[in-house]
Amino acid sequence: MSQTVSKKFLRSVDTCVDDNLLGYVKLHTGVKLLKKHSAVIRDDLESIKRDGRVTILSGGGAGHEPFAAGFVGRGMLTGAVSGAIFTSPTSANILATVRLLATGNSGGLLMLVANYTGDRLTFGQALERARLEGLRVEMIVVAEDCALSAVSKSVGRRGLCGMIFMQKLAGAMAESGHSLPDIVDHLNRAAKKMGTMGVCQSSCSLPGAGALFQLGADELELGLGIHGEVGVKRIKVRSSEAIVEMMIRHMTNTESTSHVELKRGDCVAVLVNNLGSLTHIEMNIVAHDVFTLLTQVMELKVERCYVGTLQTSLDMGGFSISIMHVTPSLLRYLDAPTTAPAWLQVGSGLVTNDSLLFVDPMAVEETSFAVPASTAKLNRHETDLLQNCIIRGCEVLILNEAKLNALDSGCGDGDCGTTLKKGAKAVLYLIESDLDWSCPMDIFLRIGSAVSESMGGCSGGLLSIFFTSASGALSNRLTTIDWCNALEIDPLAAAYQILRAQLEVGSRPLAALTESVAEAREVCKQTAGMKAKAGRASYVGSDFLGQPDAGATAVVLILDAILEIVKAG
């Protein structure tokens, strides 16, 4: 079976890396592109050399953006060199960049390299050649992956998003005038006290190719790298909270040779990194789970928590967690200002007490919004009938959630059933409270408030208006015509017109209701060919017509349920 080629917005697969770098330097001030060598350089390089400050170089294969070019700026990297996608830069390009950054600079150059064989070889080759040329260059290999329980002595741990911590520390120290040996010493000590682990729900896909590996609908890949390589374990989908706990327990497992030591009271900085295509919703939930586990369960002091997209694996649907021990001096370097566009500037004093995260709503007396009391009351039989109709209507909406979502997906956003289910559950919860069922005006008014609070979108607004309007129609009298008038709203227009006409010619209420429900079913079928005039569906072309409207279908389901109860009663 042929592999599906991924779709990307590119000029050309062959030139996408160079096109990306050119676009980046055009759109960001303070940086320039090293001609023919795929490297982004700070435009104040000559000033750095004159001051004798250390220059910082990093890089690697493309596909990890914003790493590494996004971290070039005052207070972070002086330069970043890029290879092809998931391919280490050529030693020639690295050497050309090293010569530019180190020549004439008494402060010297520090290269930060992730622990991958290709990167170590090409950066290492450039390092040896630069030293032969008399340039002052040092190299630190970052290797903080905690996924592998038994690490090969020849290859070692992989370098992952902890690299960003190293780049920030090195850049801040260099900016403040620290010497090359001092920076190397601080970074080597910090690198030994950090760890990273990743997980994904979908693989990445290379431009011009398909996904690098496949995951089942119920599978996650744990402990993966950032080049599309599979992880150490394939696990079943579970909640974000459970996944975070599994990852951090693995990272801190003392039986693993790659674990990071953490104990109660330790001060740490945390980086929750989007590996490519997770939504902001997912990232905020994951970050909250990470923060809660570290602070409330493990009782660590999370001094800084960075959440965002820093080092990706193209469009991979996953995230990584990096944890680093911090001291007051390291925190100063993390907090030091930088012009690097991709760095996440966060504040101190993170709130660990959830109760401090909320603001209480204004305390307003309910009587301030009281409506006139109703004089219209139901008898016991009518009360039971009303309650049963409302309960059954809610039940059918809950049971038909998937059906309504499917109908809504062609011309809407596929959530009509879910939204109506929320409202139905809110009404059922309301029914459990002590209500005066003999007063339909009050019941409908309360239902209107319940759906308004629990439902969003057009459905919530329409239903809230309907029940509020219906309560007004039933405030003084409860004749069959009054109940009919309670239906006088556009979504129920067809049923209302037939019901009203049948009642006015003397038809029995049950017969009139049966006729009106039949008319509602017929009109619902006709919506399959109607073009919407409002809402999201109004933007959808006629090619997507053919299915009845989800909202109209919901109305018919409710009316059918009411008819069933009335016939039985």
| Residue spans per domain, the chain | 15-205+214-354, 380-568
Give, to the nearest 10 degrees, the angle between helix 416-431 and helix 380-399. 150
C-beta of residue 89 within 8 angstroms of C-beta of residue 111: no
pLDDT of res. 1: 40
More confident residue, 388 or 45: 45
C-beta of residue 63 within 8 angstroms of C-beta of residue 311: no
Q: Is 194 in a helix, a strand, or coil? A: strand
pLDDT tens column, 428-461? 998 888 778 888 888 888 888 888 888 877 777 8
Residue 138, CA distances (Å) to 38, 111, 174 in order:
21, 6, 14
pTM of the complete model: 0.79
Question: Which of 56-65, 185-194, 438-447, 506-515 bottoms out in mean pLDDT, i.e. has the lowest?
Answer: 506-515
Residue 3, CA distances (Å) to 91, 314, 365, 412, 421 in order:
33, 18, 64, 31, 39
pLDDT of res. 437: 81
CATH placement of domain 380-568: 1.25.40.340
Give the model's confidence band at 491: pLDDT under 50 very low, under 70 low, under 90 confident, else very high: very low
Per-chain mean pLDDT for the chain: 88
C-beta of residue 458 within 8 angstroms of C-beta of residue 490: no
What percentage of the chain exceeds 90 in pLDDT? 59
Kindly list the catalytic residues.
227
Token reading at 536 = 């999201």
Q: How far is CA 554 from the centre of its chain?
A: 30
CATH homologous superfamily, domain 15-205+214-354? Dihydroxyacetone kinase; domain 1 (3.40.50.10440)
More confident residue, 254 or 152: 254
pLDDT tens column, 300-349? 999 999 999 999 999 999 999 999 999 999 999 999 999 999 999 887 77
| Phi, then psi, of 560 in degrees rounded to 5 | -60, -40
pLDDT of res. 466: 80
Minimal CA–CA distance to 235: which of 119, 116, 322, 318? 318
DSSP 130-178: HHHTT--EEEEEE--B---SS--TTT-PPP-THHHHHHHHHHHHHHTT-
